[in-house]
Amino acid sequence: MKRILIAIFVLLTVIPAKADEGMWLPVLINQRIKDMRAKGFKLKAEDVYSVNKACLKDAVVLFGSGCTGELVSDKGLLFTNHHCGYGQIQKHSSVEHDYLKDGFWAMNLKEELPNRGLTVSFLEYMEDVTEKVLAGYETWMSEKQRDSLIRVNSRALVSNATKAGNGLRANVEALFYGNQYFLFVFRTFRDIRLVGAPPSSIGKFGGDTDNWMWPRHTGDFAIFRIYADKDNNPADYSEDNVPYKPKKFFKISRKGVKEGDFTFVYGCPGSTKQYITSDEVEYIGNISDPQKIELRTKRLDIMKKYMAKSPVVRIQYSSKAASVSNAWKKWQGEAKGLKRMATVAKKKAYQQRFRQWAKGTRYEGLLEKLEKLYAERKPYFIAYEYYTETIRAVEILNFASDLRNNLKNPKVRSNIAEVFFKDYYQQIDEEVFVAMIQAFADNIPEDFQPQYFKDQLKAYGSVEAWQKDLFSKTIFTDKERVLALEPKDKELVEADPAIRLADAFGEWLAESLRPHLNNLNNQIRLAYRDYMQGQMDFEPNKQFYPDANLTLRIAYGKVQGYSPADGVYYTPVSTLKGIIEKDNPDIFDYNIPQTLRDIYAAGGYENQPVCFLATNHTTGGNSGSPIINADGNLVGINFDRVWEGTMSDLVYDPEVCRNISLDIRYLLFNIEHIGKASYLFDEMVFAD
Ligand code: ARG
Ligand code: GLU
């Protein structure tokens, strides 16, 4: 028996990271390049990441605060996803100029539209600063002292790295739960203009129906341009700014892809948790995901009901509904995937082996400690998640607090109000209020509920009565009155029922929840620092990659279909033919522009490629990432994953985890035939 165990143990420890799994740090490219080249990549390590010469990393940006983009010309032209530029496209839209609906195409530089608040950041370099961050650390120090030392050292590193100014910003990030520290130095540009976007019937084709699914036919791209001052430095928007000249931009390949081709995604994945214990997986898959799915189903049903009735409401709530439904669908795939893969049971078995091994080491008792912490945190965390999905889902409560917090600043105040009322439909919010408050009252144990909440509910007798009274008394539904508010109205504002409710929850959060949650989360974080190191010591031959944290990463794999269910195989490439198959003027998500029908009917574009699947390990934040072929040229833009594989944030399954990319040739097709903006081709470089 013992020998079999040892044999299994040896087998387990020498298995490398599974095929195509991994979000690798570009600075450590040397550890991956051999494998990448063995799989077909033709470039060298320094072509991918280098601080001494221009390389592919210089053509990749963090777009906004949660997407990726890539440079495609020496005039700062940038591609990202339609859903990443959605907010900007929407802000420029009105019923008269509905760029969401009709698309937008600048025909020259003058027509490009500026976007207040939008930034893109280039990574200048990244550096392992573990030793510098921990300089001065002594083993006798408490965790508090260690944390403050880290803070002081990090601040010095950041200020040193950014002292040249010029749009430089930096941060020190803990990797592997604080076993390593990396400095990331960026240059941020802030004059970014909209150049082109297809109509939503192309850029969002399939809508929430096809989201996270294959076969997919979404033309999910938007085109922007980075502007700089005359010295090519970051600058606030100004008419005098000129197109930015990047160190590097991607050449575009028109060769296309086929099953088996090498692919490489260079981008900024947001967040993953590969190294958590069975308890956390169980919480996510069996409690958190199901409860959030249920709450969002209620909210979406309410929004959809009113959106179907009115085109104005449809525009107002399109972006809000898309973001509510996006995670809602992802969680469904995640919970199912975790079950299918029996991740809880597998983690438990792994932990069993870890425990055996850990006996007599400094890791002994660690898993027991984590188990206890998770059990303690559970009721607080459930209440917290419930709060974020219910109380925070009521628009009027968020708006009221935002406005109150900015009462002294007339400009900010009126901005907030304008933005809010442009997209507010009170009836939706009233119904959401009833549904969400009811859910909170029914599902959160009374001793966890804020006293004010309980008192109000009791006094009104029903959530409906409370809703009617609150919405009739609050001033925050009345635009005129809100715009007329002044700092001297402080008392009136503080007495408003929306503010009272929002504040009651604010206090509850700060006093009854946060202290416990922060304390427990902190203890969990520290235990993970050891557990992470423990896992690395336990499996010394395994190649570990740090969890995603919106820093630049490399994921490589190949174009490949998958089997979503018994008896079904999905091939990896979709074409215009499939768009025509789905086309239906009566279904909002599948109603394509007439031009596209006409082009197809005229013949010759049946095989026009639209999207493709590959095995690259990606997550939220990788939207808009360049997908690169063996020659280092741009073949597509990543925009999604298949929902059956969304548990890859916790556990990757090479059989079903697939990223979905737009085929770059469909983007070119759109520029030419839909936007009639072929002038943009002049500044692009085509590799083949
Ligand atoms: N699922 C993709 C992502 O996570 C696309 C989301 C936008 N599209 C949508 N139909 N909601 O960002
Ligand atoms: N659409 C996602 C994003 O915004 C990418 C899909 C995913 O989660 O992989 O980044």
Q: Is 82 in the pocket of ligand 2 (CB under 6 A)?
A: no
Q: What is the pLDDT of residue 16?
A: 46
Residue 210 Cα: closest atom of ligand 1: 10
Residue with the smallest CA separation from ligand 2 atom 9 is: 619
Q: What is the pLDDT of residue 159?
A: 98
Q: Is 292 in the pocket of ligand 1 (CB under 6 A)?
A: no
Span 16-22, average pLDDT:
72
CA of 546 from ligand 2 middle (Å) equals 19
Residue 84 Cα: closest atom of ligand 2: 4
pLDDT in tens, 43-93: 999 999 999 999 999 999 999 999 999 999 999 999 999 999 999 998 898
Q: What is the pLDDT of residue 96?
A: 86
pLDDT in tens, 381-397: 999 999 999 999 999 99
Q: What is the pLDDT of residue 319?
A: 83
Q: Which residue's structure tokens are 């503080």?
A: 494
The single-letter DSSP state of residue 684 is S
Least confident of 316-325, 394-403, 471-480: 316-325
Q: What is the pLDDT of residue 12?
A: 45
- State the first-to-last Cα distance of the chain, in angstroms, to the nearest integer: 60
Confidence of residue 348 (pLDDT cuts 50, 70, 90): very high
674: closest CA among 105, 109, 111, 206? 105
CA of 482 from ligand 1 middle (Å) equals 34
Residue 322 Cα: closest atom of ligand 1: 11
pLDDT in tens, 572-619: 999 999 999 999 998 889 999 999 999 999 999 999 999 999 999 999
Q: Residue 7 pLDDT more than 90?
A: no
Which ligand sits closest to the CA of 82? 1
Euclidean distance between CA atoms 143 and 136, whole angstroms: 14
CA of 636 from ligand 2 middle (Å) equals 15
Q: What is the pLDDT of residue 115?
A: 97
CA of 662 from ligand 1 middle (Å) equals 13
Residue 325 Cα: closest atom of ligand 1: 11
Active site residue 310: no
CA of 123 from ligand 2 middle (Å) equals 20
Q: Is 620 in the pocket of ligand 1 (CB under 6 A)?
A: yes
CA dihedral 275, 280, 281, 286 (to 10 degrees): -170
Euclidean distance between CA atoms 404 and 431, whole angstroms: 24
287: closest CA among 216, 236, 338? 338
Q: Is 640 in the pocket of ligand 1 (CB under 6 A)?
A: yes
Q: Is 298 in the pocket of ligand 1 (CB under 6 A)?
A: no
Q: For 80, phi and psi rounded to 5 degrees?
A: -150, -165
Q: Which residue's structure tokens are 């889902």?
A: 393
Euclidean distance between CA atoms 21 and 12, whole angstroms: 16
Euclidean distance between CA atoms 445 and 456, whole angstroms: 16
Q: To test the ligand 2 pocket, which listed residue (619, 642, 656) has its Cβ within 8 A of the most ligand atoms?
A: 619
Span 624-649, average pLDDT:
98
CA of 203 from ligand 1 middle (Å) equals 11
pLDDT in tens, 460-471: 999 999 999 999
Q: Residue 501 pLDDT more than 60?
A: yes
Active site residue 220: yes
Q: Is 326 in the pocket of ligand 1 (CB under 6 A)?
A: yes
Q: What is the pLDDT of residue 381?
A: 97
Q: Return mean pLDDT, the chain.
A: 95
Residue with the smallest CA separation from ligand 1 atom 3 is: 640
Q: How far is CA 145 from the centre of its chain?
A: 33
> 271 to each of 66, 267, 467, 532, 550, how far by Cα in Å?
11, 12, 37, 16, 7
Residue with the smallest CA separation from ligand 1 atom 5 is: 640
Residue 638 Cα: closest atom of ligand 2: 5
Mapping DSSP onto H, E and C, the string for 139-177 reads: CCCCHHHHHHHHHHHHHHHHHHHCCCCCCEEEEEEEEHH
Q: Residue 6 pLDDT more than 70?
A: no
pLDDT in tens, 440-455: 999 999 999 999 999 9
Q: Is 208 in the pocket of ligand 1 (CB under 6 A)?
A: yes
> Active-site residue among 278, 623, 648, 661?
623
Q: Residue 4 pLDDT more than 70?
A: no
Q: Is 212 in the pocket of ligand 1 (CB under 6 A)?
A: yes
Residue with the smallest CA separation from ligand 1 atom 2 is: 640
Q: Residue 476 pLDDT more than 60?
A: yes
329: closest CA among 212, 432, 203? 212
Q: Where are the domains positioned within the chain?
A: 2-119+190-272+547-562+572-683, 278-529
CA of 567 from ligand 1 middle (Å) equals 28
Residue with the smallest CA separation from ligand 2 atom 6 is: 640
Which ligand sits closest to the CA of 649? 2
> Active-site residue among 47, 58, 208, 220?
220
pLDDT in tens, 256-271: 999 999 999 999 999 9
Active site residue 589: no
Q: What is the pLDDT of residue 11?
A: 46
Altogether, the residues listed in the chain come to a count of 688
| Sequence-distant (≥ 6) Cβ neighbours of residue 562 within 8 angstroms | 569, 570, 613, 642, 644, 645, 655, 656, 658
Confidence of residue 18 (pLDDT cuts 50, 70, 90): low
Residue 269 Cα: closest atom of ligand 2: 10
CA neighbours closer than 13 Å in the CB half-sphere of residue 34: 2
Q: Residue 164 pLDDT more than 50?
A: yes
Residue 330 Cα: closest atom of ligand 2: 8
Q: Which fold has domain 2-119+190-272+547-562+572-683?
A: Thrombin, subunit H (2.40.10)
